[in-house]
């Protein structure tokens, strides 16, 4: 580790968390870019980063950067990712991948044309307990998958100026929080055949809460709930014909789970034992792919990121949420 040099685009809270875990895991940040030189320098001083750029364009043009982590607000993801790809840089893009499916397809196509890695930073996918869940499902322990349910309910700031409440920043519970269970449903069951959704809106016009029901023909159903103004345990369950997986709080972070058969017997109990917050696993995957000369991850392939954005678009269509950039 440490041979691949990272560049950070954006200096908000998620960029701070990501950078700390990246450095703690032994990786190297070569440069950071922000909209102002002052903010970039403050961030660079905090993490002992050699170079601070006062623009995103300067960051992606930096010859000492191999891969760019995009941590700007949702509406900027596509433009930042495309700029990095055109500059010959691999890209890790914070979730949601883009604002909508059209943008997502453009980013995926550009990465493929340039022969560069593009990876959505859906960090849950790369966690050890989720890897074990994939193995259990592949082994047939659950039988045929019939259902999935998960909540992502957080009590986030109510300030109308906060990005979670700002339409111009792609705010709302769905893209920030709902993307987690919707992405997990995609991992388990693919793209849904039918989408139903209902929402409760905030005073700023974005969704404060959105519930969804996805249908997969006669195979299965998935139910997701997200909200930005209430807090709950945030657990999840995967149900099959032979057994179920009960994932503890907080299901999308490093946590524990149980496999329970149809008689109620626990047939496997998984206990998470890791160091760090968990975002280091997506960094390891990105560097593994670059070292191997690969441009897509089988865990989070770009075509699935596009598919998830199509599902999010369908949910937004059902609840009537349109962002100013899309009008």
CATH number at 145 reads 3.30.360.10
DSSP calls for 154-212: -B----TTSGGG-GGGT-SHIIIIIHHHHHHHHHHH-S-SEEEEEEEE-TTSSEEEEEE
Same-domain status, 79 and 113 = yes
pLDDT of residue 2: 53
Domain CATH number, residue 292: 3.40.50.720
CA atoms within 13 A on the CB side of 49: 33
Same-domain status, 85 and 145 = no
Same-domain status, 72 and 136 = no
Q: What is the distance of C-alpha 222 from the center of its chain?
A: 18
Number of domains composing the chain = 2
CB neighbourhood size of 73 (10 A): 17
Look at residue 9 and tell me if it is in a domain: yes
CB 130 within 8 A of CB 203: no
CB 126 within 8 A of CB 288: no
- For 53-77, give the secondary structure using H, E and C: ECCHHHHHHCCCCCEEEECCCHHHH
Same-domain status, 116 and 39 = yes
Same-domain status, 110 and 55 = yes
Residues tagged active-site: 95
Torsion of CA 65, 254, 182, 249, to 10 degrees: -150
Same-domain status, 269 and 158 = yes
The boundaries of the domain holding residue 40 are: 5-123+279-296
Question: What is the arrangement of strands in the sheet containing 266-270, beginning at the earlier edge strand?
Answer: 194-201, 207-216, 220-227, 145-153, 236-240, 243-247, 257-261, 266-270
Residue with tokens 């696993």: 281
CB 60 within 8 A of CB 9: yes
The low-confidence residues of the chain, meaning pLDDT below 70, are 1-2
Look at residue 310 and tell me if it is in a domain: no
Separation between Cα atoms, residue 10 and residue 72, nearest integer Å: 5
Same-domain status, 114 and 132 = no
CB 206 within 8 A of CB 243: no
- Predicted TM-score (pTM) of the model is 0.97
Of 45, 54, 50, 12, the C-alpha closest to 29 is 50
Separation between Cα atoms, residue 310 and residue 211, nearest integer Å: 17
DSSP calls for 126-142: GSHHHHHHHHHHHTTTT
Look at residue 155 and tell me if it is in a domain: yes
Look at residue 115 and tell me if it is in a domain: yes
């Amino acid at each position: 580790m440490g041979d691949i040099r990272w560049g950070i685009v954006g200096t908000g809270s998620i960029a701070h968390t990501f950078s700390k875990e990246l450095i703690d895991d032994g990786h190297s940040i070569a440069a950071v870019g922000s909209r102002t030189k002052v903010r970039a320098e403050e961030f660079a001083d905090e993490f002992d980063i050699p170079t601070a750029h006062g623009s995103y364009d300067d960051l992606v043009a930096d010859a000492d950067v191999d891969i760019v982590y995009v941590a700007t607000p949702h509406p900027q993801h596509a433009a930042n990712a495309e700029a990095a790809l055109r500059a010959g840089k691999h890209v890790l893009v914070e979730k949601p991948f883009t604002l909508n499916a059209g943008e997502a397809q453009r980013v995926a196509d550009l990465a493929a044309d340039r022969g560069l890695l593009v990876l959505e930073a859906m960090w849950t996918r790369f966690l050890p307990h989720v890897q074990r869940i994939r193995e259990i499902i592949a082994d047939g322990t659950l039988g045929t998958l019939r259902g999935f349910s998960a909540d992502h309910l957080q009590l986030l700031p109510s300030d109308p100026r906060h990005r979670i409440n700002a339409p111009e920043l792609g705010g709302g519970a769905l893209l920030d929080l709902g993307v987690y269970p919707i992405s997990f449903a995609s991992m388990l069951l693919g793209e849904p055949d039918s989408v139903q959704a209902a929402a409760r809106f905030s005073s700023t016009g974005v969704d404060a809460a959105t519930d969804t029901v996805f249908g997969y023909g006669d195979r299965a159903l998935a139910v997701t709930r997200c909200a930005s103004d209430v807090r709950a345990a945030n657990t999840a369950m995967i149900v099959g014909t032979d057994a179920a997986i009960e994932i503890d709080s907080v299901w999308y972070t490093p946590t524990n789970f149980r496999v329970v058969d149809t008689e109620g017997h626990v047939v496997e109990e998984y206990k998470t034992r890791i160091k760090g917050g968990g975002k280091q696993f997506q960094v390891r995957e990105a560097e593994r792919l670059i070292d191997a000369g690969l441009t897509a991850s089988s865990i989070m392939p770009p075509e699935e990121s596009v598919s998830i954005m199509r599902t999010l678009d369908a949910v937004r269509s059902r609840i009537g949420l349109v962002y100013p950039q899309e009008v």
